[in-house]
Structure 1
């Protein structure tokens, strides 16, 4: 508590008045910990039967797949974490996506997405249908964003690294749902992270409100008529919360607040905290509607401080786009081997950026190399279109606007790279597969020595009869290595030896 700025404490005392002492007592309480199951891979009943940890968790009231766990459980060290069966996430942070009402087939934008917790939550609700475009303006943060998407086995995500204004021309009124988990002063995280309190003056409320205003302005232009926008912060500041929404509604009368009826412990917004002049300009009814936004207070529930508002754009009622076409003909030039030298050089540079390093261009057609690999090693629907940036191959889930002028980290499911006439499958491909989609697989239980050795990057020795091999397939080739039936990565089997192909950045030290 000694690190909490006095200016902040005085402000909270003025706002909360009789509640202030209870609020301050929350800083002395132990933190709570949460994880969220990944419905792309497992459901609650399966997980509780599979993991002893399932007996010691409690549900998070406002999150369908959310659970509280005890600090000493250390779920991030368990092999099931490395299989993407769950994501470790602060419980309050699970609420905004629950309010977004995502359904299969929707086009969804997570505008300030890193490190990816909310993107993976959205992907679970899409159930593989539609698309999630996940963007962050900080290049260094997109690496963690892409990795968390891949760890969760998400196939239908595109990852971009842009400032919001750059996205508007490509995506104007394109999305059914938009999440703006805005950068903020972080007051709600002081209890969890002392560094947030120390940097509060640097990340001032005034500076944050300007950024939030600009982000909301661009987000509104990308939302389709009838769509939903959820704005959220992890701060208590009215300037960044109710006042920010009031200001937005003044500029955008085509939006309205959709009232949230939350479970117990979650509190209504505080319209009385907005500026009196803004309240008069808004009118009594619109001002009162701000009570339909929500606040999560750490002294009233098990979680950190958060705020969320659900905004509906006027127009026809949206409906899930269950059957979205694959890329338009104009986009298919990306897969053509005979691309012009200038465009090929550009794509090579984009591929280098996407991988965070160097990338060679194969003389062979990367798409043909991928098709050959898929036919020999996998049991996938081969009708899906593929694209390549240099030698790297992606499978996009749906038709997207042209990304040519945008900084692209992942234009779709990253499946691998063509190298010297052969195709090397990616870690992302392994994590996005079901076990039955690989022609060769092997599975050990989470407590086995083999799993521990595999996660450390060691070579293993196995007999062909220990593997599941599709009818007609040879034992030699790529093997999907699984824990309790869920993929962890690749191995390459030759003459009794399973060479470890787990990416170095994914190994357990």
Structure 2
């Protein structure tokens, strides 16, 4: 049920003709479904050859693909983290953020993780990605998605923006603020979304968004880029929020970007006369300039492209961003390396179970250099979080004083004189990175049994001697893969594979 107040407001925005087209898009039964390939694990061409229902590319995201008449969320590839199911319009903000390997990037309002995992794929495991969600339950979901997609350089937090602005002032090169909003872009795909909508809630969201955006601005370096986005159509939460921000932050400007796929400019005429006059009474020249700049924000309208709708604005802070002014300062100081007795049991695990280049392996004072046979690396600082062992970039901000859900790559648990690897480590590794693995076809009953938590029997005993696939007489940790993509751990003993797929993730097919 679409609220009457919403209809009246949109009609006043768009005028009779365009309003009719806009409203007709809500009556259209056609929904646009898409997924985005996780390039940390595979590439688009590989996935397209395996999932034949993947169709045309999303115009503003080359790794995003539309699909129809399929349930990719129930495929083993989903559990292996090969893709993220994401609404097509929602892929646009990260495209315009333009993340790059080695940068320090913040995703401030990140759950459930679509944009965070998209940023991570652009970063390719290099740099610092701080991803935050104020709601603890949603932050847990965010952390699980970071794990599922095999991301090693993310610090997942459960904080409010005000506290973060104190800790990370002037730290980030790029920031995404996908602000919590009234969710008008959800009306098409969620029949109950309209029941929770009201003009009062729209105004309340706008107040909160201004506060979040102001806090985000404090954390951006001069010359840095900030993308603000929402999945709503309200000018209060979009053009007017940007107008307000520009007027009160004269060291920021809107960046003109190249549009594609039906994306249009924002509409300065949506700014109310009341708001404009209020700021014009303070400084009419600046008010005029800010209003003109709002026209360079972007709108994704559901009646003009294949998506549910989005708003975004690309902002930059005045100044020059160079490697010299990207501070080497680490907020909170660096993390403290794990004690030798903890790294020793992990080192033993690595030597027994990981296929690494012996010429490029060392753990010294908690710092690990480990070149994997598959060509990637496990380099960084090993530190303890309770009894859990993590690997993080050496300059990742300290976890002390922050509500942390995940700090880098979770390696596993230290249990007295032994080490038990984590599910996150399994999802990061590939078959060529381990001494033992077992591959099951994605359409097999065996992989379904594994994801259900069942113990598996080892049937292969005549494999080629050069193969690392587990045999009946094998012992130790085994990486389970599906069509060569890692999906979890098992432990081999006595011709059986004891299942270590996490109980909370198990699936009944």
TM-score, normalised on structure 1? 0.88
Q: Does 1:99 align with 2:96?
A: yes
Inter-partner Cα distance in structure 2 for 1:308 and 1:133: 21
Do the aligned residues in 2 keep the contact of 1:326 with 1:398 (CA within 8 Å)?
no
Residue 314 of structure 1 corresponds to 318
Residue 344 of structure 1 corresponds to none
- Unaligned residue ranges in structure 1 (runs of 5+): 338-364
- Unaligned residue ranges in structure 2 (runs of 5+): 362-367, 370-379
Inter-partner Cα distance in structure 2 for 1:316 and 1:327: 21
Residue 360 of structure 1 corresponds to none
2:334 to 316, 331, 334: 331
Deviation at 1:428? 0.6
Inter-partner Cα distance in structure 1 for 2:324 and 2:151: 19
2:302 to 291, 298, 302: 298
Q: Are residues 119 and 329 of structure 1, via their aligned partners in 2, closer, same or farther at CA, if it must alter by over 3 Å?
A: closer
Inter-partner Cα distance in structure 1 for 2:396 and 2:448: 40
Deviation at 1:328? 11
Residue 378 of structure 1 corresponds to 354
Inter-partner Cα distance in structure 1 for 2:343 and 2:331: 17
Do the aligned residues in 2 keep the contact of 1:225 with 1:316 (CA within 8 Å)?
yes
Residue 282 of structure 1 corresponds to 286
Residue 25 of structure 2 corresponds to 26
Do the aligned residues in 2 keep the contact of 1:295 with 1:305 (CA within 8 Å)?
yes
Deviation at 1:329? 12
1:425-440 correspondence runs (5 A): 425-440=421-436
Do the aligned residues in 1 keep the contact of 2:5 with 2:199 (CA within 8 Å)?
no
Inter-partner Cα distance in structure 2 for 1:315 and 1:502: 49
2:320 counterpart SS class: coil
Deviation at 1:169? 2.6
2:49 counterpart SS class: helix
The structure richer in helix per residue is: 1
Residue 49 of structure 2 corresponds to 49
Do the aligned residues in 2 keep the contact of 1:157 with 1:397 (CA within 8 Å)?
no
Deviation at 1:319? 5.4
1:233 to 230, 234, 237: 230
Deviation at 1:168? 2.0
Q: Are residues 295 and 320 of structure 1, via their aligned partners in 2, closer, same or farther at CA, if it must alter by over 3 Å?
A: farther
Inter-partner Cα distance in structure 2 for 1:329 and 1:163: 17
Q: Are residues 99 and 327 of structure 1, via their aligned partners in 2, closer, same or farther at CA, if it must alter by over 3 Å?
A: closer
Residue 251 of structure 1 corresponds to 248
Do the aligned residues in 2 keep the contact of 1:257 with 1:312 (CA within 8 Å)?
yes
CA-based RMSD: 2.4
1:76 to 73, 76, 85: 73
Deviation at 1:399? 0.6
Q: Are residues 496 and 326 of structure 1, via their aligned partners in 2, closer, same or farther at CA, if it must alter by over 3 Å?
A: farther
Do the aligned residues in 2 keep the contact of 1:134 with 1:159 (CA within 8 Å)?
yes
Q: 1:209-265: CA deviations, max 9, x gaps?
A: 111111111111111111100000011111110110111111111100001221131
1:197-276 correspondence runs (5 A): 197-201=194-198, 204-275=201-272, 276=276
Inter-partner Cα distance in structure 2 for 1:503 and 1:211: 37
Inter-partner Cα distance in structure 2 for 1:485 and 1:85: 11
Residue 341 of structure 1 corresponds to none
1:465-504 correspondence runs (5 A): 465=462, 468-469=467-468, 475-504=474-503
Residue 343 of structure 1 corresponds to none
Do the aligned residues in 2 keep the contact of 1:131 with 1:398 (CA within 8 Å)?
no
Residue 7 of structure 1 corresponds to 5
Inter-partner Cα distance in structure 2 for 1:333 and 1:398: 10
Inter-partner Cα distance in structure 1 for 2:398 and 2:294: 37
Q: Are residues 98 and 477 of structure 1, via their aligned partners in 2, closer, same or farther at CA, if it must alter by over 3 Å?
A: same
Deviation at 1:266? 1.1
* Corresponding residue pairs, total: 474
Q: Are residues 421 and 214 of structure 1, via their aligned partners in 2, closer, same or farther at CA, if it must alter by over 3 Å?
A: same
Inter-partner Cα distance in structure 2 for 1:267 and 1:401: 38
Q: 1:91-130: CA deviations, max 9, x gaps?
A: 1001000010111111110000011110000000001110
Inter-partner Cα distance in structure 1 for 2:343 and 2:332: 16
Inter-partner Cα distance in structure 1 for 2:348 and 2:325: 32
Deviation at 1:496? 1.0
The structure richer in strand per residue is: 2
1:40 counterpart SS class: coil
2:381 counterpart SS class: coil
Deviation at 1:483? 0.6
Inter-partner Cα distance in structure 2 for 1:417 and 1:445: 30
1:68-217 correspondence runs (5 A): 68-70=66-68, 72-201=69-198, 204-217=201-214
Inter-partner Cα distance in structure 1 for 2:211 and 2:13: 26
Do the aligned residues in 2 keep the contact of 1:230 with 1:311 (CA within 8 Å)?
yes
Q: Are residues 171 and 109 of structure 1, via their aligned partners in 2, closer, same or farther at CA, if it must alter by over 3 Å?
A: same
Inter-partner Cα distance in structure 2 for 1:321 and 1:129: 19
2:77 counterpart SS class: helix
Do the aligned residues in 1 keep the contact of 2:337 with 2:382 (CA within 8 Å)?
no
